[in-house]
Homo-oligomer: A and B are copies of this chain.
């Protein structure tokens, strides 16, 4: 940690600060620049005390040298983590596609959708049972009933199932039915939920919060991994910006950054990040070209009957075409579908 001191710092205040640094078990390393004094705090775990150093009035800024996350960092583990879900590998040379309805509505629609995406080559079935909705008056999901339908659809198609868990009290029941637990963007910093999921053994897909920096996102992943669950898959789904023509702004820059900083795999969800049916396939292809380990998209056989987000659901015929194109782009960047 580098502490930059204010230019008018007095000796007695500097002494108090260096005393504190030593008291916490670190070595202060003072450099006198042309204009300002800077103090290096040498030792392990200094980033835990960033706020303490910042609370001194003479400290203009405290700049960490070491990343605040550890277990998820590329420095801790050099090789890519590959998450195995019922035999399907996420993070390896094969890109994966998760597809299905935004929320599970009727059993018929779900099964029709599951069969369609399986036929087209999808690897996972997605579908919402517990739905985070901005409005209390919107459809909130069919809950456990939907989980049961998903389990039946898995039997029908052999596709493993990914579905969202919104509350600590739901972790157990969702883990009973699902193959991957999804943490949604609005719960990306619901730390009690992250801890609870960390104690579970099921793979987790952690979406990026719409206002989270990449570093904060990795800290949320660190919450899960530090509790013992190493099977974390990241999912970029768009951040909040000023641009109104799409729901969110997909941050594909995040893909090479994530590949540099962490060993965890990363998927992209263009459906929520773009929000307009026709614009989704190009962004899915872009994600693969940028190096994502896969994509998750929404598909519905009858979008005008969907109980949520129908405007962003691909029709099965569009999904078929997109899968063909994903195959070609994956091969162009040295992967397979």
Contact = CB atoms under 8 A, between A and B. Distances in A.
Given A2-B2, A4-B65, A252-B283, A239 B243 contact: yes
Chain A interface size, under 10 / 10 to 19 / 20 to 34 / 35 or more: 35 or more
Contacts of A34: 42-44, 46, 66
A226 interface: yes
Interface in A182-196: 186-187, 189-193, 195
A33 B40 contact: yes
A333 interface: yes
Contacts of A325: 332-333
A251 B253 contact: no
A212 to B, nearest CB: 9
A80 interface: no
B329 A213 contact: no
Given A167-B168, A245-B257, A286-B287, A40 B43 contact: no
B54 A245 contact: no
A306 B20 CA distance: 13
A170 B169 CA distance: 11
Nearest to A291: B282
Contacts of A135: 48, 68-69, 219, 222
A313 interface: yes
A197 to B, nearest CB: 12
Nearest to A73: B7
Given A191-B133, A328-B332, A333-B329, A253 B279 contact: yes
Contact of A75 (B7, B253, B331): B7
Given A65-B4, A168-B169, A186-B189, A310 B252 contact: no
A304 interface: yes
A87 interface: no
B239 A255 contact: no
B249 A249 contact: yes
A236 B43 CA distance: 38
A241 interface: yes
A223 B137 CA distance: 9
A166 interface: yes
Contact of A136 (B75, B219, B329): B219
A311 B313 CA distance: 39
A118 B17 CA distance: 31
A131 to B, nearest CB: 9
Contacts of A332: 285, 325, 328-329, 331-332
B52 A310 contact: yes
Interface in A240-266: 240-246, 249-257, 260
A239 B244 contact: no
Nearest to A246: B253
Interface in A29-78: 29, 31, 33-36, 38, 40, 42-44, 46, 48, 51-52, 54-57, 59, 63, 65-66, 68-69, 75
Contact of A190 (B133, B187, B226, B256): B187
